[in-house]
Amino acid sequence: MKKHEEESSAAKVKLGRTDIFIRTVGYVIISLYAIACVFPFLLIIGTSFSSEASIREIGVQLIPREFTLKAYQMVVASGGIWKSYGLTILITLTGTLVGLGCISMAGYALQRKDYPYRNAISFFIYFTSLFSAGLAPYYLTMTQTYHLKDSYFAVWLPLLMSPWLVILMKNFVKQIPHEITESGKIDGAGDMTIFVYLVLPMLKPALATVGLFLALGYWNEWYQSSLFLSTKVDVKPLQYTLYEVVNKMDALKNSVAGQYVSLADVPTEGIKMANAVLATGPIIFLYPFVQKYFIGGITVGAVKG
Amino acid sequence: MVDQKKTAGNLQRTKSRHSFWQTFWKYRVLTLMCLPAILFFFLFSYMPMPGIYVAFVKYNYRDGIFGSRFVGLQNFQFLWESGKLLTLTRNTILYNLAFILLGNFLAVFTAILLNELQSRWFKKVSQTMMFLPYFISQVLVGVLVYNLLNYDTGFVNQILGAMGKDLWQPYADSKVWPVILVLIYLWQQTGYNSVVYFASICGTDPAIIEASKVDGANAFQRIRYILLPSLKPTIIILLLFALGGIVKGNFGLFYNVIGTNSLLYDTTDIIETFVYRATMTDFNFSSASAVGLYQSVVGFVIVMTVNYVIKKIDPEYSLF
């Protein structure tokens, strides 16, 4: 019925030449951009299945000239990648859960109109996004005061929260009708009870959005690892493992240790690509299903404090 | 008389102290709920702040930050006189300007085009494809760019070779990187950035657009006189917000694409990459912190100014 209406209204207004022009331009440009967004990934996947000899001869390839699974076999056989996977999954799951708990509690308390300290605490949190100590003092505090050098906590802790995510959560909580909290209070429920039984169930979309931002942050983490995890640490988060394999020859050699006698025999380019595919794979499969929550995040108007 | 006043004052004080604890106790659960967040920002954002003092000393490891010799502004002076501070500031600001202006322009452009398309299926699939670059780690962005541009196996050189042209060696040529880095940024962010504008267009009253069609407005007129004006507030606010962060560089992008290729530093070194190297490679904490402090202070002043301007335009949108 609705479709029928749309069609009839479209028929009423004749499609002008400019409409056709803009639509054509739109389809062409959007198609080209969309293809450009995907193309480099196809190049990596294709090359990861190509033989080292053919990569050295003709370079990266979309469709492998000589199809081989050798790079993957080597990466998998060394076992290091599975340890990285395990570590990254552990860090991502625990970090997202704990972070989500802390952020949602703070987000709820800070938007309660009757809470007298909400402005002071909000400012305390928000100020950190306006002024920061900078990298060197941060690094010295983490390593010399907290002694977190070479500790996984140095990677896990700093990603738990961000001022932006607290504000985002606050804005989500604001959308919950005030009456719900009030009705809980009248029934004599404590703040924690109201939060857990009345507010949290209504926050599901917010939890999904903030949780996914946290999870993406943990999964893509390489920065804190590069600051705090030295060569003394064997197993590193996935993206930083990829960073090392791509940028440091030693790391690449170690990643396939024992399988080849000399470095000249190691299919270096193929291994880099196979690592890249393995480190990114889960994201590519998952993101189409969760992208709507990210859109929710940017359109909720998360900019305001 | 005096005594009376005194007692009254004391009473007042005890009363207010009493009510402070009363309030505190009444809201103890909410405070407890905020406690993890307070602790987090205290430990990881406020605790490093006294360490800014390292920018004013000649740091040595044995004596620590507060035991090292105080040298006043010498660290800043050196960075200023060597011209380093100026180069870094120039690079950071110019890149950000290009990112912000071109980024928003393309995002608006993409959103308007998407809105004109009719096929739901096409919109959905193309938007999903356009989101992909946003979800990947910056490390992978570095790999993707390397695959396209490296001299021996890169895709661009394959094409140039096939056309019989000279091969290109961008990793040894610093002049081309401003263009390449801006393109990478636009490639990665445009799909995601267009969402805000697209949502904003979808929020405009369809009756207005329908009416304009009945009145005989063509597609260009519709865009020029209805869509763009309706986007104007969003554009201005997002531009201003972005300008607030104009001295904050995109470290992940620059570090993963350029890395430690010092051939390219004169056009690609931004404040973040310099500070990172000074901290992690040279262990020159004093110099790193001096640049960092300079960046934080300038950034703070700019954000405050921008917020003041936004407040004048529309207090609804001001940050605080």
Q: Sorting pLDDT into bands at 50, 70 and 90, what band is A264?
A: low
pTM of the model: 0.87
Handedness of CA B207, B212, B216, B219 (dihedral sign): negative
**pLDDT in the model for residue B198:** 85
One domain for residues B203 and B73? yes
One domain for residues B31 and B62? no
Name the amino acid, one letter, at B23: T
Domain contains B24 = yes
Domain contains B48 = no
Whether residue A75 contacts residue A259, with contact meaning beta carbons closer than 8 Å, is answered with: no
Q: Give the percent of chain A with pLDDT over 70.
A: 87
What residue ranges define each of the domains in chain A, with the CATH number in brackets?
2-70 (no CATH), 72-298 (1.10.3720.10)
Q: Do B113 and A26 touch (CB under 8 A)?
A: yes
Whose structure tokens read 């690509």?
A: A273
Q: Number of structural domains, chain B?
A: 2
pLDDT surpassing 60 at residue A305: no
- What ipTM score was computed for the predicted complex, to two decimals? 0.86
Q: What is the pLDDT of residues B204-228, one digit of tens each?
A: 777 887 888 778 778 888 888 888 8
Task: For residues A264 and A254, give the distance between their C-alpha atoms in angstroms, rounded to a whole number.
Answer: 14
Q: What is the pLDDT of residues A210-237, one digit of tens each?
A: 999 999 999 999 999 999 998 888 899 9
Task: For residues B310 and B320, give the distance between their C-alpha atoms in angstroms, rounded to a whole number.
Answer: 10
**pLDDT in the model for residue A7:** 47
**pLDDT in the model for residue A11:** 45
Nearest Cβ partner for B126 among A34, A55, A115: A34
**pLDDT in the model for residue B140:** 94
In this structure, are strands B69-70 and B57-58 parallel, antiparallel, or unpaired?
antiparallel
CA distances from B134 to B86, B140, B184 (A): 31, 11, 11
DSSP character at residue B70: E
> What is the C-alpha R_g of chain B?
27
pLDDT surpassing 70 at residue B238: yes
Handedness of CA B213, B217, B223, B228 (dihedral sign): negative
**Angle of CA points A285, A288, A290, to nearest 5°:** 105
Q: Sorting pLDDT into bands at 50, 70 and 90, what band is A143?
A: very high
**pLDDT in the model for residue A138:** 95
One domain for residues B68 and B29? no
Q: Strand, coil or helix: what is A67? A: strand
Domain that includes residue B156, residue range: 54-317
Whose structure tokens read 């331009």?
A: A25
Whether residue B130 contacts residue B220, with contact meaning beta carbons closer than 8 Å, is answered with: no
Q: What is the pLDDT of residues B42-61, one digit of tens each?
A: 999 999 999 899 889 888 88
One domain for residues B173 and B25? no
Q: Sorting pLDDT into bands at 50, 70 and 90, what band is A27?
A: very high
Whether residue B33 contacts residue A106, with contact meaning beta carbons closer than 8 Å, is answered with: yes
pLDDT surpassing 90 at residue A139: yes
**pLDDT in the model for residue A3:** 45
CA distance A259 to chain B (A): 25
**pLDDT in the model for residue A124:** 94
Q: What is the mean pLDDT of residues A59-86?
A: 85
One domain for residues B162 and B184? yes
pLDDT surpassing 50 at residue B294: yes
CA atoms within 13 A on the CB side of A236: 25
One domain for residues B33 and B126? no
Residue B128 CB partners (closer than 8 Å, separation 6+): A288, A291
A133 touches chain B (CB under 8 A): yes
Q: What is the pLDDT of residues B136-187, one digit of tens each?
A: 999 999 999 988 888 888 888 888 888 888 888 888 888 889 999 999 999 9
A65 touches chain B (CB under 8 A): no
Residue to mutate among B29, B32, B35, B41, with most A CBs inside 10 A, is: B41
A119 touches chain B (CB under 8 A): no
One domain for residues B14 and B122? no
**pLDDT in the model for residue B180:** 93
Picking from B75, B96, B68, B90, the residue whose alpha carbon sits closest to that of residue B278 is B75
One domain for residues B62 and B16? no
A44 touches chain B (CB under 8 A): yes
One domain for residues B58 and B25? no
**Angle of CA points B248, B254, B260, to nearest 5°:** 125
Q: What is the mean pLDDT of residues A83-92?
A: 94
Among the ranges given (A136-145, A193-202, A251-260), the one the predictor scored with the smallest mean pLDDT: A251-260
CA distance B232 to chain A (A): 16
CA distances from B21 to A120, B15, B26, B312 (A): 17, 10, 8, 39
Picking from A209, A176, A199, A196, the residue whose alpha carbon sits closest to that of residue A96 is A209
Burial (0-12, 13-18, 19+ Cβ within 10 Å), B203 = exposed
One domain for residues B32 and B127? no
More confident residue, B211 or A156: A156
Among the ranges given (B33-42, B206-215, B285-294), the one the predictor scored with the smallest mean pLDDT: B206-215
Domain contains B179 = yes
More confident residue, A77 or A104: A104
Q: Strand, coil or helix: what is A240? A: helix
Task: For residues A231 and A57, give the distance between their C-alpha atoms in angstroms, rounded to a whole number.
Answer: 34
CA atoms within 13 A on the CB side of B156: 15
Whether residue B181 contacts residue B256, with contact meaning beta carbons closer than 8 Å, is answered with: no
Domain contains B49 = no
Q: Do A138 and B65 touch (CB under 8 A)?
A: no
More confident residue, A248 or A265: A248
Q: Do A242 and B44 touch (CB under 8 A)?
A: no
pLDDT surpassing 60 at residue B113: yes
Task: For residues A289 and A7, give the distance between their C-alpha atoms in angstroms, rounded to a whole number.
Answer: 30
